[in-house]
């Protein structure tokens, strides 16, 4: 009975095709969206802790005393979202050189953000003596901003890897889908920065 | 209908029959095949079921009488922590995701999961996390000092877990091992979602997926939203313990209640992550052994999604005694009672499936029927616990212990057993012995009820949980004796299962493709399936493709 | 070995042997007199409350029990019926039953009815929540501050300047002129939970958080309480007693507790031992130089029925065991063994015995 069944099934699909590409979303896209959902849940707990402890530190320093609004860093990071879109678009239309330039610019802008953060933390820790152990503000500030910086670093490493692959000539139009998926991760990192920025430098100050 | 031709020659998985042992081992260690990984998850989970079960036996021996003196309090507190932690993360999660791993591609006509290497990565993360957790017994002072195994309860409330009150590394083992297993589970969730959304075979719209696959989808979403809060809280605790942070450091103004909120934001959806797969098993097994289609497919799916969503809003019903405002307590009592509605509806739908059917009482069905009764009771004691004022008496007592074991054992473990008996033939090509299965069922049923029915009353009589002993003259002695007796029955029953599995692997009755006369896609391929699952990707027209083929005069797609 | 008819008999014998083994074999461990002491107190059945809010909780519980019991009988009955009625008979091989895919009216009905039931439960629940948590505090209320420690209870009466431990005395409340006891709950270390089942539901003691609860007792007697939040090694033995007594007796108790410690010259030796050892770092005895706050106040130690937070009855023999090594009674207790010689211990016990 079951040989019959399998034969019937086989007869109905006379051509051996995987599920037609236009019918269902690509698994890479679903995967990256799922990852973004997961990471959002992860970040939201740190944001919640930050918000919960606003104003609750027993002793200073307080946000107003030590925080400088990182305008330039933010502009760089958010611009890198634009440059990465341009890079992917260039790759989709086949101009690998153009892609390489925009991609490098993205990397540079992201690096600037990281360097800026490093300098800021150096100032806070060594000049102001403000650390994760200082008070509740310190605890929540360093963990939230640090977690974001960690995600930026991972993103930069991935972008660097793709850049090296491009220099070695392995990146072309056929890789456009994958670089687009990677760019979604990068957009996510930028979106998280918007939330962190608002929470720490606007609401919390 | 038993007109299936039995194949006397079994199709071995791949051609490794002639390989030496190391070759076979290498095959398993390096596999990315969802079926092998699924079996590894299930096998690993069953191993820890026995380990954590022995820990439970020790707990019950210690509590059989007042001041029994079998283990000192420090060892007992490690036992209860390890039992709980292992059962949730090293038994429940791997077995249930292992079944999803195995079944989902087969049920949707796919060849593997979306990301096979990620699948393997997730498994080995889980594996090392499990080893790390139990390695804790050897760490610290080593075995002599009963090691450094976690002893802070499986939900590790702050500030007991802070450096000041938890010196030594027991809490760190808890954090690190669970971080590992959780990342593995999250990877599996992402994998399952991508598979289900992107890799269904021709004709299988979301509307035509087996209910088990819907459960996998909803469970995966829950995992993606609920597991990260646990990891986040654990990272925060790690920062407190090692970098001087103050997230939960009450001495510096931190909040112990914040830990509870974060933990239960994970913890409550977690129990739905554990129970929804059991619902999936029930929704596949009960129809086949009632010979009827599942009653109300749309409602079942909608109810599942509703449960998933509402379950994200009920977490503080674990915290009614913490001192929230009346409004807070009222909100969570309300949301908790609301989630009972879609849950109850599912029981009615299973009842509707059985009604008018032709029930066959094979082992998978025995476990499923017991599941229905026991889950009903568990749901009702859950409603009692949702009533916040009554919760103030019941919380942190053996009533809660009895309630959640009713869900975890009475519903989930019973359905895991059902699933094992049901799909073992598909995975191995051999049937499990029906006689041993029946003995397993009845002994486990008796033991389960002896233990957990009784413990409800211990709670009502004032016995708190997590106590290594209790005093005489409190009226608790008899309840505890009966509960301990039940544990022996359960242990023996599980032993029978282990014997059954070992014997049947070697000399079980050959199963053929479709021993149960079932209707979903996994039964169209061989037992065990070839590595590629399907020679040609199937095409379906209804929710029960095999029913359509077996009943061409009355196919499903004419009705729904 | 376990097949067939003799199987059940064999299993029964095995089970009985196991039971005997469990009951007799294991060491008849010392219960430090608590078995006899507890026997005098009725068990902590939450359905036999003697105070508000335990009364309100119990009433609500009976209502919920009734509703859920009815649901169980109906649904369970239907399940049982269907299992028996719809068994496959031997005579109808091969024919499948009618495939019913669903029924909108039935599904509508069994969605609506549960929603209505849940609605009723929610209303009664919310009302009781507010009745208990938002109860106004009458003028005659007694104020008590409960401070949780690992693993004992500190009770302060701020209006009377009294500090005691592990035994809470509160006055009987007259419904015509209620004098409930309002408790503030704090912790100095980890989370604990205050639970006296026959008097009230439990409320947690969370460090860095102030919780409040109240008890309005309507029957006098002694009631058992216990910590109900896992708090470390000796969570299991962090017990307390609540003594509800008539107003007159309670007033006398208050007056006695306010007195400084008895000074009996015949026990001078013991007092010297106490004051010259580390005892004073942890314990307070009012009227002496001992002002420690880490451990229980011992000023009126002998007025309490138990020691070590309900672990042993309070007599000289048990005191001696405790002093020699607390781990013998309560392994992991934070009080160290003071390594005193036998003579010192005897003197100390004689001194403590005067602290009535």
| B366: nearest CA partner in chain C | C83
Element (H, E) at C213: strand C211-217
For chain B, say whether A150 makes contact (Cβ under 8 Å): no
How many helices, marked H, and strands, marked E, lie in chain C?
9, 13
Parent domain of C197: 142-258
| C210: nearest CA partner in chain B | B323
The answer to whether the CB of B517 falls within 8 A of the CB of B2 is yes
Kindly give, in sequence order, each residue whose CB lies less than 8 Å from that of residue B76, ignoring residues fewer than 6 positions away.
Answer: B59, B62, B468
The answer to whether the CB of B170 falls within 8 A of the CB of B80 is no
Q: Is C306 found in the same domain as C207?
A: no
Please give the structure tokens belonging to residue C14: 């095995």
Measured distance CA(B194)–CA(B113) in Å, rounded:
8
Report CA-CA distances (Å) from B280 to B191, B212, B283, B361.
18, 4, 5, 19
**Residue appearing with tokens 């006899």:** C36
Domain count, chain C: 3
Task: Taking residues A131-151, report their average pLDDT.
Answer: 97
- Is C1 inside a domain boundary? no
| B485 chain-C contacts, CB cut-off 8 A | 15, 18-19
Measured distance CA(B317)–CA(B385) in Å, rounded:
8
Q: Hey, are the CB atoms on A27 and B232 less than 8 Å from each other?
A: no
Query: For residue B17, what pLDDT is reported?
Result: 57
Q: Is C105 found in the same domain as C150?
A: no
Buried b (16+ CB within 10 A) or exposed e, B319-351: bbbbbbeeebbbbbbbbbbbbbbbbbbbbbbbb
Q: Hey, are the CB atoms on C29 and B485 less than 8 Å from each other?
A: no
Instruction: Mark the ranges of chain C whose per-residue pLDDT is less than 70.
Output: 1-9, 12-13, 15-29
For chain C, say whether B490 makes contact (Cβ under 8 Å): no
**What DSSP letter does each residue of B329-354 carry, written as one string?**
HHHHHHHHHHHHHHHHHHHHHHHHHH
Task: Taking residues A95-116, report their average pLDDT.
Answer: 96
Please give the structure tokens belonging to residue C336: 């160290």
Which contacts of C107-116 are long-range, i.e. CB under 8 A and separated by 24 or more positions?
C107/B296, C107/B299, C107/B345, C107/B349, C110/B344, C110/B345, C110/B348, C111/B299, C111/B341, C111/B345, C114/B340, C114/B341, C114/B344, C114/B345, C115/B341
| B539 chain-A contacts, CB cut-off 8 A | 9, 12-13
How many helices, marked H, and strands, marked E, lie in chain A?
7, 0
| A9 chain-B contacts, CB cut-off 8 A | 524, 536, 538-539, 545, 549
Q: SS3 string of B224-243?
A: HHHHHHHHHHHHHHHHHHHH
Q: Is C309 found in the same domain as C213?
A: no
Q: Is C182 found in the same domain as C156?
A: yes
State how far residue C214 is from chain B, nearest Cα, in angstroms.
13
For the stretch C242-270, pLDDT in tens is 999 999 999 999 999 999 998 889 999 99
| Mean pLDDT per 10-residue segment, chain B (560 residues) | 39 59 92 97 98 97 94 94 98 97 97 97 97 88 64 96 90 96 96 97 95 98 98 98 96 96 98 98 98 96 96 97 97 97 96 96 98 98 98 98 98 98 97 97 98 98 97 95 97 97 96 96 95 93 94 89
The answer to whether the CB of B213 falls within 8 A of the CB of B192 is no
Give the rounded distance of the alpha carbon of C250 from its chain centre: 22
Give the strand order in the sheet containing C221-227.
Answer: C167-171, C239-245, C221-227, C192-195, C203-205
Q: For residue B412, give the nearest of B361, B377, B366, B375 by alpha carbon.
A: B375
Q: Is C276 found in the same domain as C292?
A: yes
Measured distance CA(C17)–CA(C21) in Å, rounded:
6
Q: For residue A142, give the nearest of A203, A52, A24, A63 by alpha carbon.
A: A63
A:B CB pairs within 8 Å? 149
Q: Domain ends where: C233, C258, C283?
A: C258
| B225 chain-A contacts, CB cut-off 8 A | 37-38, 41
Give the strand order in the sheet containing C51-52.
Answer: C51-52, C211-217, C181-187, C142-149, C152-157, C162-165
- Is C3 inside a domain boundary? no
β-bridge pairing C239-245 and C203-205: unpaired
Q: For residue A141, give the nearest of A130, A151, A150 by alpha carbon.
A: A130
Query: For residue C29, what pLDDT is reported?
Result: 67
| B257 chain-C contacts, CB cut-off 8 A | 206, 209
Tell me the CATH class for A26-203.
mainly alpha
Please give the structure tokens belonging to residue B306: 């509703």
Measured distance CA(C150)–CA(C335) in Å, rounded:
10
Q: For residue B541, give the nearest of B551, B533, B531 by alpha carbon.
A: B551
Q: Is C239 found in the same domain as C311?
A: no
Predicted structure pTM score: 0.93
State how far residue B222 is from chain A, nearest Cα, in angstroms.
10
Nearest to B243 among A2, A4, A132 (CB): A132
Query: For residue C145, what pLDDT is reported?
Result: 98
Q: Is C172 found in the same domain as C111?
A: no
Q: Hey, are the CB atoms on C331 and B64 less than 8 Å from each other?
A: no
Give the residue extent of every domain in chain A: 26-203
β-bridge pairing C181-187 and C211-217: antiparallel
Task: Taking residues A125-150, report their average pLDDT.
Answer: 96
- Is C4 inside a domain boundary? no
DSSP code of residue B91: I
Domains of chain B: 34-558 (1.20.210.10)
For chain A, say whether B201 makes contact (Cβ under 8 Å): yes
Q: What are phi and psi of C168, to 5 degrees?
A: -105, 125
Of the pLDDT bands very low, low, confident and very high (cuts 50, 70, 90), residue A20 is very low
**What DSSP letter does each residue of B286-316 carry, written as one string?**
HHHHHTSPPS-HHHHHHHHHHHHHHGGG-GG
Kindly give, in sequence order, each residue whose CB lies less than 8 Å from that of residue B210, ignoring residues fewer than 6 positions away.
Answer: B107, B283, B284, B520, B543
Query: For residue A9, what pLDDT is reported?
Result: 44
* ipTM of the complex as predicted: 0.93
| A151 chain-B contacts, CB cut-off 8 A | none
Q: Hey, are the CB atoms on B252 and A58 less than 8 Å from each other?
A: yes
**Residue appearing with tokens 């405002």:** B325
The answer to whether the CB of C300 falls within 8 A of the CB of C256 is yes
Q: Hey, are the CB atoms on C75 and B77 less than 8 Å from each other?
A: no
Q: For residue B154, give the nearest of B49, B57, B264 by alpha carbon.
A: B264
pLDDT > 70? residue A11: no
Q: What is the CATH number of the domain that holds C213?
A: 2.60.40.420
The strand pairing partners of C213, in sequence order, are C183
Of the pLDDT bands very low, low, confident and very high (cuts 50, 70, 90), residue A115 is very high
| B460 chain-C contacts, CB cut-off 8 A | 45-47
Angle at B369 between CA B368 and CA B371, to 5 degrees: 65
For the stretch C142-184, pLDDT in tens is 999 999 999 999 999 999 999 999 999 999 999 999 999 999 9
Kindly give, in sequence order, each residue whose CB lies less than 8 Å from that of residue C92, ignoring residues fewer than 6 positions away.
Answer: B358
| B73 chain-C contacts, CB cut-off 8 A | 233-234, 236, 331-332
Q: Hey, are the CB atoms on C110 and B159 less than 8 Å from each other?
A: no
Looking at chain B from residue 514 to 543, which residues have their Cβ under 8 Å from any Cβ of chain A? 514, 523-525, 535-539
Of the pLDDT bands very low, low, confident and very high (cuts 50, 70, 90), residue A60 is confident
């Amino acid at each position: 009975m079951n040989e019959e069944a399998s034969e019937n099934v086989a007869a109905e699909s006379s051509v051996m095709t995987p599920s037609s590409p236009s019918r269902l979303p690509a698994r890479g896209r679903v995967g990256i969206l799922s990852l973004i959902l997961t990471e959002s849940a992860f970040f939201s707990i740190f944001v919640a802790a930050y918000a919960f402890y606003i104003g609750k530190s027993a002793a200073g320093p307080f946000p107003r005393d030590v925080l400088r609004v990182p305008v330039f860093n933010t502009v760089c990071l958010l611009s890198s979202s634009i440059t990465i879109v341009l890079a992917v678009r260039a790759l989709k239309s086949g101009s690998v050189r153009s892609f390489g330039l925009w991609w490098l610019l993205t990397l540079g802008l992201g690096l600037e953000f990281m360097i800026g953060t490093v300098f800021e933390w150096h100032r806070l820790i060594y000049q102001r003596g403000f650390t994760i152990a200082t008070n509740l503000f310190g605890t929540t500030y360093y963990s939230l901003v640090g977690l974001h910086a960690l995600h930026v670093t991972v993103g930069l490493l991935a972008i660097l890897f793709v850049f090296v692959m491009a220099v070695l000539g392995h990146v072309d139009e056929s890789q456009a889908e994958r670089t687009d998926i990677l760019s979604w991760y990068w957009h996510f990192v930028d979106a998280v920065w918007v939330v962190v920025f608002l929470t720490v430098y606007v609401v919390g100050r | 209908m038993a007109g299936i031709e039995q194949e006397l020659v079994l199709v071995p998985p791949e051609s490794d029959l002639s390989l030496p042992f190391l070759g076979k081992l290498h095959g398993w260690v390096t596999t990315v095949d969802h079926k092998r990984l699924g079996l590894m998850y299930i096998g690993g989970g069953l191993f820890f079921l026995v380990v954590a079960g022995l820990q439970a036996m020790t707990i019950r021996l210690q509590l059989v009488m007042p001041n029994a003196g079998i283990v000192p309090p420090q060892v007992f507190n490690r036992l209860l922590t390890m039992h709980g932690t292992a059962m949730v993360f090293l038994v429940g999660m791997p077995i249930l995701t292992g079944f999803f791993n195995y079944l989902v591609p087969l049920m949707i006509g796919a060849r593997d999961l979306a990301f096979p290497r990620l699948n393997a990565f997730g498994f080995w993360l889980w594996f090392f996390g499990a080893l790390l957790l139990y390695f804790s017994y050897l760490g610290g002072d080593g075995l002599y000092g009963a090691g450094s195994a976690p002893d802070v309860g499986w939900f590790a409330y702050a500030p007991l877990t802070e450096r000041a009150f938890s010196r030594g590394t027991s809490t760190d083992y808890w954090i690190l091992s669970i971080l590992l297993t959780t990342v593995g589970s999250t990877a599996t969730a992402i994998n399952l979602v991508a598979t289900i959304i992107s890799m269904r075979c021709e004709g299988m719209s979301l509307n035509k997926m087996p209910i088990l696959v819907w459960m996998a989808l909803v469970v995966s979403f829950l995992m993606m939203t609920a597991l990260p809060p646990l990891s986040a809280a654990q990272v925060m605790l790690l920062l407190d313990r090692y970098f001087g942070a103050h997230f939960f450091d009450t001495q510096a103004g931190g909040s112990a209640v914040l830990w509870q909120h974060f933990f239960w934001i994970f913890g409550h959806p977690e129990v739905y992550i554990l129970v929804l797969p059991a619902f999936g098993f029930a929704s596949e097994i009960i129809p086949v052994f009632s010979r009827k289609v599942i009653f109300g497919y749309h409602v079942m799916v909608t109810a599942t999604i509703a449960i998933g969503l509402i379950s994200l809003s009920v977490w503080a019903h674990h915290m009614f005694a913490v001192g929230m405002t009346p409004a807070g307590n009222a909100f969570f009592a309300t949301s908790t009672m609301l989630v009972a509605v879609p849950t109850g509806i599912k029981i009615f739908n299973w009842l509707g499936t059985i009604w008018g059917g032709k029930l066959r009482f094979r082992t998978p069905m025995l476990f499923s029927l017991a599941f229905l009764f026991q889950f009903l009771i568990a749901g009702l004691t859950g409603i009692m616990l949702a009533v916040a004022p009554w919760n103030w008496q019941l919380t942190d007592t053996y009533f809660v212990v009895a309630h959640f074991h009713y869900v975890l054992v009475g519903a989930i473990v019973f359905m895991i057993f059902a699933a094992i008996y049901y799909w073992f033939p598909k995975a191995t090509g051999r049937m499990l012995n029906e006689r041993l299965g029946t003995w397993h069922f009845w002994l486990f049923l008796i033991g389960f009820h002896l233990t957990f029915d009784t413990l409800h009353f211990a709670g009502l009589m004032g016995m708190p949980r997590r106590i290594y002993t209790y005093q005489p003259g409190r009226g608790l002695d008899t309840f505890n004796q009966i509960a301990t007796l039940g544990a022996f029955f359960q242990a023996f029953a599980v032993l029978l299962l282990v014997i059954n599995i070992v014997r049947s692997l070697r000399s079980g009755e050959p199963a053929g493709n479709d021993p149960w006369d079932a209707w979903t896609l996994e039964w169209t391929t061989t037992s065990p399936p070839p590595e590629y699952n399907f020679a040609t990707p199937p095409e379906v027209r209804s929710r029960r493709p095999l029913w359509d083929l077996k009943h061409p005069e009355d196919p499903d797609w004419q009705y729904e | 070995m376990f097949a067939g008819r003799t199987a059940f008999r064999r299993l029964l014998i095995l089970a009985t042997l196991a039971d005997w083994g469990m009951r007799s074999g294991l060491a008849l461990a010392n219960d430090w007199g608590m078995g006899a002491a507890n026997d005098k107190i009725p068990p902590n059945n939450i359905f036999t409350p003697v105070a508000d809010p335990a009364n309100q909780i119990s009433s609500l519980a009976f209502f919920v029990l009734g509703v859920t019991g009815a649901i169980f009988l109906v649904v369970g009955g239907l399940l049982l019926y269907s299992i028996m009625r719809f068994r496959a008979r031997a005579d109808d091989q091969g024919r499948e039953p009618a495939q019913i895919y669903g029924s909108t009216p039935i599904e509508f009905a069994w969605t609506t009815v549960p929603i209505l039931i849940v609605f009723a439960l929610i209303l009664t629940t919310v009302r009781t929540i507010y009745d208990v948590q938002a109860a106004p505090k009458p003028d005659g209320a007694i104020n008590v501050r409960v401070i949780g420690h690992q693993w004992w209870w500190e009770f302060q009466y701020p209006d009377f300047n009294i500090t005691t431990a592990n035994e809470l005395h509160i006055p009987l409340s007259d419904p015509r002129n209620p004098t409930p006891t309002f408790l503030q709950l704090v912790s100095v270390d980890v989370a604990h939970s205050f639970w006296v089942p026959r008097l009230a539901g439990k409320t947690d003691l969370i460090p860095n958080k102030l919780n409040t609860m109240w008890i309005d007792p309507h029957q006098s007697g002694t009631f058992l309480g216990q910590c109900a939040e896992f708090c470390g090694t000796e969570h299991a033995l962090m017990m307390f007693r609540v003594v509800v007594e008539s107003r007159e007796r309670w007033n006398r108790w208050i007056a006695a507790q306010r007195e400084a410690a008895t000074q009996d010259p015949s026990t001078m030796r013991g007092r010297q031992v106490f004051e010259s050892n580390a005892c004073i770092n942890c314990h307070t005895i009012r009227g002496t130089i001992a002002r420690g706050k880490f451990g229980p106040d011992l000023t009126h130690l002998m007025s309490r029925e138990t020691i070590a937070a309900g672990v042993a009855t309070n007599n000289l023999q048990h005191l001696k065991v405790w002093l020699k090594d607390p781990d013998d009674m309560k392994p992991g207790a934070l009080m160290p063994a003071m390594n005193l010689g036998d003579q010192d211990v005897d003197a100390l016990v004689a001194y403590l015995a005067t602290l009535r």
